[in-house]
Amino acid sequence: MAQPRLLVIDDDVDICTLLTRFLAKHGYEVESAQRGAVAKDLLKKSRFDLVLCDHRLPDTDSEEMLQYIKSVSMDTAVIIITGYSDVRTAVNLMRKGAFDYVGKPLYPDEILMRIKDALAGRREQAEDVRAPKRTANREKTGDYVQGTGPHAELLAAHVALVAPTDMTVLITGETGTGKEFVAREIHRLSARAQAPFVAIDCGALPKELAGSELFGHVKGAFTGALGDKRGSFEQANGGTLFLDEIGNLTYENQVKLLRVLQERRIKRVGDEKDIAVDVRVLAATNEDLHRAVSEGRFREDLLHRVNEFNLNLLPLRDRPEDIMVFARWFLQQANTQLGRQVEGFDEAVEARLKGHAWPGNLRELGNVVKRAVLLSTGKLVQLSALPAEVISGAVALHAQEQGAGAPPVADGLKGVSHSAEKQAIMKALERNGFNKSRTAEMLNIDRKTLYNKLKSFGIEL
């Protein structure tokens, strides 16, 4: 079996060197690039199974790189390397085709874990294309957890109400709120539960290939169409098709989708004959489609078709009573995946988790908990296993209120300096394993000054 080929893109030469050596020791063939232009040349010449890409590069950014990677190799997995201020951006990039993100500072074991997950997901995706009926029916009950708050109870009641019908459901909510999990639960509770569930991320589809992915194509329909291909509607025949980020479809494909919903017939790209399909459609979006209609980006008649029943998912910050419910569920999952036996969270950790703003919602919470389990050595997750910004709490909340990554401006330059100083201290603490002596030495201050700074910032360790 051939070694998986990886490409590391980061302008930090040391990071490229360390990751290249580490991953090579674990059986991967690795190349690296410090600039986007160099990476593009490598991607033109060679095929890579996975790309690790830093969010900020000297000549481009991860969003532009992701778009380019997917245009030259649709099935290449992409993991974004990001600082905490860019978590919201990284999570949004997952809606455009990125597999996952990993936050700085980088831990080799965490990166290895994410790479293994991505490559396993890539193989699973390939199997789904070859045998959708066999793989799309896997039991998904373990992937859905119900919260305990009033919103969760209302959501559960609405899911139970609409699931047995064949109504088209529009699931709305911020990125990372669990829209696909809800769609799978609707499918599981429906009369179609034993038929395929096929999920398509419209945000990750290259515009020129979206028609082929959804409706299929015949041999010779376009350059590269070497044989007939069944689209997602045919793969989901008899079952459920989940269209995530439906607002990203082009106008042409919106017209085709409307026709399918009206007539229950599709036409493959390049074909003249119609094919009857029996598919229930569930759609999701993180944008306001009514605004998209008013701006001419989305068809009003299609909106009415997909919005026969609406489910709106609240962001995690608006349902704090459910944060620990989900955190404990993610803890169980991480224990299973990593072969660990972490039993729970320290009280101080629970307080920090409940106080964090979670701009990346469930996706961010899941990543934080999984990383914490990986870094934990005892029975309970301790503060030292959490990212610095989750520990500080107020930084993330302030960023949420003012916009991700935006510095506070209420106090003018003094406020900006105050925030930057706090974030620098938290980063130094994390890099030194929360050892205050080493942190003070790194910051070139004495321990007493560090203690006073921590007290003034309200940081308790």
Query: In this structure, are residues 162 and 169 in contact, taking their beta carbons and an 8 Å threshold?
Result: yes
The better pLDDT of the pair 137, 275 is held by 275
- Confidence grade of residue 398 (pLDDT, cut at 50, 70, 90): very low
Looking at residue 422, its pLDDT comes to 76
User: 395 or 356, which is more confident?
Assistant: 356
| Main-chain phi, psi angles of 225, to 5 degrees | -85, 85
Report whether pLDDT(413) > 50: no
Handedness of CA 25, 30, 31, 35 (dihedral sign): negative
Q: What is the DSSP letter of 84?
A: G
Per DSSP, the three-state class of 10 is coil
User: Quick one: pLDDT band at residue 402, thresholds 50, 70, 90?
Assistant: very low
pLDDT for 114-136, tens place per residue?
A: 899 899 876 655 544 433 333 33
DSSP 244: E
pLDDT score for 110: 86
Q: Say what the pTM is.
A: 0.72
Rounded-to-integer distance, Cα 218 and Cα 268, Å: 7
Range among 75-79, 183-187, 387-391 rated most confident: 183-187
Q: What is the pLDDT of residue 212?
A: 86
Question: In terms of pLDDT, which residue wins out, 150 or 435?
Answer: 150
How far apart, in whole angstroms, are the C-alpha atoms of residue 15 and residue 40? 19
pLDDT at position 193, please?
A: 95
Q: pLDDT exceeding 90 applies to what percent of the chain?
A: 50
CATH domain 136-312 topology: Rossmann fold (3.40.50)
Same CATH topology for 5-130 and 136-312?
yes
CA-to-CA distance for 7 and 49, rounded, in angstroms?
A: 8
Write out pLDDT tens, residues 215-245: 888 887 777 777 888 889 999 999 999 999 9
Give the number of C-alpha atoms closer than 13 A to the C-alpha of residue 296, restricted to the C-beta side. Answer: 0
The residue type at 136 = A
User: 322-457 maps to which CATH number?
Assistant: 1.10.8.60
Number of Cβ atoms within 10 Å of the Cβ of 176: 26
Pairing of strands 50-54, 100-103: unpaired
Q: Is the confidence at residue 3, as pLDDT, over 70?
A: yes
- Three-state DSSP at 305 gives helix
Strands 197-201 and 29-33: unpaired
Q: Which of 155, 153, 165, 225 is nearest to 189 (CA)?
A: 165
Closest CA to 309 of 281, 276, 331: 281
CA atoms within 13 A of residue 363's CA, in its CB half-sphere: 24
pLDDT higher than threshold 70 for residue 317: yes
Amino acid letter at 377?
A: T
Q: Apex CA 347: angle with CA 343 and CA 350, to 5°? A: 85
CA atoms of 122 and 134, how far apart (whole Å): 17
pLDDT for the residue numbered 130: 38
- Closest of 159, 166, 246, 247 to residue 200, by C-alpha: 246
Q: Which amino acid is at 207?
A: K
Q: Which of these ranges, 29-33, 354-358, 408-412, 436-440, has the smallest mean pLDDT?
A: 408-412
Q: What is the pLDDT of residues 91-122, one digit of tens each?
A: 788 878 888 888 888 888 889 988 998 998 76
Cβ-contact 145, 325 below 8 angstroms: yes
How many beta carbons lie within 10 A of that of residue 2, not counting itself?
A: 6
Q: Which pLDDT tens digit goes with each residue over 19-33? A: 999 999 999 999 999
User: Can you tell me the mean pLDDT for 140-156?
Assistant: 74
* DSSP codes, 25-71: HTT-EEEEESSHHHHHHHHHHS--SEEEEESB-SS-BHHHHHHHHHH
Q: Is the pLDDT of residue 151 over 80?
A: yes
Q: Within a 13 Å sphere around the CA of 65, how many CA atoms are in the beta-carbon half?
A: 36
**pLDDT of amino acid 135:** 32
Mean of pLDDT over the chain: 84
Q: How buried is residue 397: exposed, middle or buried, by Cβ count under 10 Å (0-12/13-18/19+)?
A: middle
Phi/psi at 275 (nearest 5 deg)? -125, 125
Helix, coil or strand: residue 176: coil
Q: Where exactly are the structural domains of the chain?
A: 5-130, 136-312, 322-457
Is the pLDDT assigned to residue 325 strictly greater than 80?
yes
Name the CATH superfamily, with its identifier, for domain 5-130.
Response regulator (3.40.50.2300)
Give the angle 417-428-348 at the CA atoms, nearest 5°: 100
